[in-house]
Structure 1
């Protein structure tokens, strides 16, 4: 990935604004095969990946059939040297590593686009007896690649579990376990920095949610907690971001930073999330389902799996990869997993992480093609009123934002706080700039979020009590007079639930937003009413604006 590019804009009479632009990361899928019922024809699996826009895949071995099926597809592949092979001596010496690389990597290049080798997986957790030798294993594999002229093409890393990091909240306290920090992680980070590779980490926010059901909200684990959690002078709307910043903090304590900080002269190592995901069904803790704080029901559901994985996929594809403490960071991700795997140990929950059932039908809807996703720009109250006011003055002045609605007596004047007014102005500026990278920074006073914030938003909803005839009449009118009703057509993403009141709510809200939420635009002869809390139709979040 390219290093961050910085654009400094100095306008007469306005504060100096530093805009940062992060190149979009990449999102792929982990293809585990611990199952008895998966497709046997690997060419069909390769076609499934291509048809669904999946451009990266991680496998947990170097299976010949899988690697041959991915030849000439353009799909990037990360292969793995399994823990058991490490324990048997593969990569213990340079000659053994050379044999393995020659037979399991070089033999498939360049037709199969192997770009990474995972030397083991969660070794600290699964095979701690290998800890003292792990970096040497990585070094031997790297040397083998160099001998074969592949060191610039294929990067070597080893995925670690998040359990390798302790004191992870607030994120600034994050540090590596004492028994691996200096003995393993420091030389590993030196190796990754010297070879231009990346720190691989497996992050599962749902685990923290299930382990702390009274402390961690479900919407926070899903990545869409609108109110957020304050920590270290910023606000976290996503537990994934907090875990990433804890990872960066642990690296910094050993003298390393994320790769984008190289511009400041420090030693940079990029972080890649080699596994993240959420199960769609299952029971935990002795068969007892856990319910998370802020959740209206069971936390392990198809809807929650869909929400989390789509949040990650859409966020990465949209380029919104930074964190509150590292807004210019990249974030490459592998979603776990491609298929449900009936052979996984751990029961029903472990066996239901798949995006697809073994018959290759989707467990729920998702899209890797990089379609449009809505984002908002909000103020960070932690910077203080003075910085908020300076940025607010710029947005409403030279920035060209329409701030008429936050003037005294206007619709969005209340609440009369710097943060509320700044969020309104920042978001208007951000929208007018086409949500371009770097247009939501304001010298650190703002950040991008992927859920609708409370910025004087309102929604139009249908009243089921009026009956199906009046609901249908209002629905027909809205769809015929400017509402975008394509999403509620049969088979479209918001068609379910297929009820009059849900379809009418979607259509009435679209009409209302397109009319600028003007007075009287959510009446429909008594069918519609205005509400001030975010609304959903099934799994579809209703947009709070027409842009």
Structure 2
């Protein structure tokens, strides 16, 4: 993870956030589903969570049987991974690669829509396994060809920005000299041959945390700022993320592979960090992810590649309590393990309206409808308390869930709470933060179904 310095003078304002997980011609946003934790919901529940939030692309770090089985027929596309510890075997023996594809891919595909295999992850960070990368990728691709899967499943290998020798200004981006001939060029040639993306893990957070005295926070968080001019090209940059990606594009051009496209397979911002992890906070994480999603859905490319839509996977779906390292490593999640949102925001399939101002006070206009329903994983006492608030002080219209009324059946706390929460949410114009109730509720993009009860959509 390389550190780049992009300093600008800016003013600070707080974004409320919303998320859009869609695949369109204008750009794609997905999410990494990491599982280094002992308290996560079952894969089946995770698939339901993904569907409820409109998330249709994920990336995992292995080929876990339970996860791939749960994803079957979900219409959620997935990138799987061959772990670093298997690179040596995959590189040395074609039979190993063949068997890995037969065992870990073929039993699940095509019911589970595996669209790519990440061969290793940030391999260049470990010089002891770097020499195996290209042969491992070639053997895995040969296996895909052998089993007629190569047209549907691409290959790549995520690289960290530490693979760059230079990244500032973006136009000077270059790969480390010692990597170029033995690894970078043959890898890029394979990606070009197979029409695959170069996978890149880019974290502006690390660059900012290491250089907070030189990098503007607004510049790192996609907020309004004066911009930064690349002295080599004269191009103006308004975000550190764009600058980092263009440094990769410049490095590709420098080694003769300008035509290889880039996919950002990891990027995110921690909501909690240690005292020395400057910038790690919930508000900054919310601002970064909101700004990134809005940025991707504009359909615009980077200043250096303006016609190349951005394809990005946010890191990560959950906070992972068993990850080693600093506190931030365990706090990149968009959701808590109980499926409550880390940020009080709705996740919708379609919404491109800018959201500025103070959290929870600015209306969000969605394209299409959204509803607010209860989170069945919370304790009944908490759900009842939230229901009482919604129907009482909250002013929700709870008459339809009274005995004998149209939405009394099914007579369940979860159903009644969902109706009340949705009434409150719609009454408040679906404002950010009005579908949370301390983690007892979340936004969905499909009409709730409780018996014959119809949930209003408000305005």
Q: TM over 0.5, yes or no?
A: yes
User: Separation in 1 of the partners of 2:99 and 2:119?
Assistant: 15
Aligned to 1:36: 38
Residue 346 of structure 1, aligned match among 322, 325, 329: 325
Cα deviation for residue 490 of structure 1 reads: 7.6
Cα deviation for residue 372 of structure 1 reads: 2.4
* Higher RCO by CA contacts (8 Å cutoff, separation 6 or greater): 2
- Alignment check: 8 A CA contact 1:123 1:160 kept: yes
Aligned to 2:373: none
Q: Which structure's CA Rg is the greater one?
A: 1
Q: Secondary structure at the match of 2:291?
A: helix
- Alignment check: 8 A CA contact 1:199 1:272 kept: yes
User: Separation in 1 of the partners of 2:200 and 2:346?
Assistant: 23
User: Separation in 1 of the partners of 2:94 and 2:309?
Assistant: 33
Aligned to 1:431: none
- After superposition, the Cα gap between the structure-2 partners of 1:271 and 1:374, relative to the gap in structure 1 and judged at 3 Å, is same
- For residues 352-380 of structure 1, give each alpha carbon's deviation from its aligned partner in whole angstroms, at most 9, with x where no partner exists: 000000000110125351212349xxxxx
Aligned to 1:272: 263
Cα deviation for residue 488 of structure 1 reads: 9.4
The 4+ residue runs of structure 1 with deviation greater than 4 A are none
What aligned pairs does 1:194-273 form with structure 2 within 5 A after superposition? 194-231=193-230, 232-257=233-258, 268-273=259-264
Aligned to 2:161: 162
What aligned pairs does 1:493-508 form with structure 2 within 5 A after superposition? 493=432
Cα deviation for residue 494 of structure 1 reads: 6.5
Aligned to 2:66: 65
What aligned pairs does 1:78-477 form with structure 2 within 5 A after superposition? 78-87=79-88, 89-125=89-125, 127-231=126-230, 232-257=233-258, 268-283=259-274, 287-290=275-278, 299-320=279-300, 322-364=301-343, 365-374=345-354
RMSD between superposed Cα atoms in Å:
2.3
User: Separation in 2 of the partners of 1:107 and 1:326?
Assistant: 39
Aligned to 1:16: none
User: Separation in 1 of the partners of 2:50 and 2:130?
Assistant: 35
User: Separation in 1 of the partners of 2:199 and 2:91?
Assistant: 19
- For residues 244-280 of structure 1, give each alpha carbon's deviation from its aligned partner in whole angstroms, at most 9, with x where no partner exists: 11000000001111xxxxxxxxxx1110000000000
User: Separation in 1 of the partners of 2:114 and 2:235?
Assistant: 39
- After superposition, the Cα gap between the structure-2 partners of 1:488 and 1:183, relative to the gap in structure 1 and judged at 3 Å, is farther
- Alignment check: 8 A CA contact 1:487 1:494 kept: no
- Alignment check: 8 A CA contact 1:314 1:370 kept: no
Q: Secondary structure at the match of 1:326?
A: coil
- Alignment check: 8 A CA contact 2:32 2:58 kept: yes
Aligned to 1:530: none
User: Separation in 2 of the partners of 1:173 and 1:488?
Assistant: 52
- Alignment check: 8 A CA contact 2:90 2:140 kept: no
Aligned to 1:424: none
Q: Secondary structure at the match of 1:29?
A: strand
- After superposition, the Cα gap between the structure-2 partners of 1:487 and 1:227, relative to the gap in structure 1 and judged at 3 Å, is farther
- For residues 90-134 of structure 1, give each alpha carbon's deviation from its aligned partner in whole angstroms, at most 9, with x where no partner exists: 343211101001111111011000000000000011x32121221
Residue 431 of structure 2, aligned match among 472, 492, 496: 492
* Structure 2 unpaired stretches of 5+: 1-23, 356-424, 436-459
User: Separation in 1 of the partners of 2:80 and 2:235?
Assistant: 37
* Structure 1 unpaired stretches of 5+: 1-21, 258-267, 291-298, 376-485, 497-547
- After superposition, the Cα gap between the structure-2 partners of 1:487 and 1:204, relative to the gap in structure 1 and judged at 3 Å, is farther
Q: Secondary structure at the match of 1:350?
A: helix
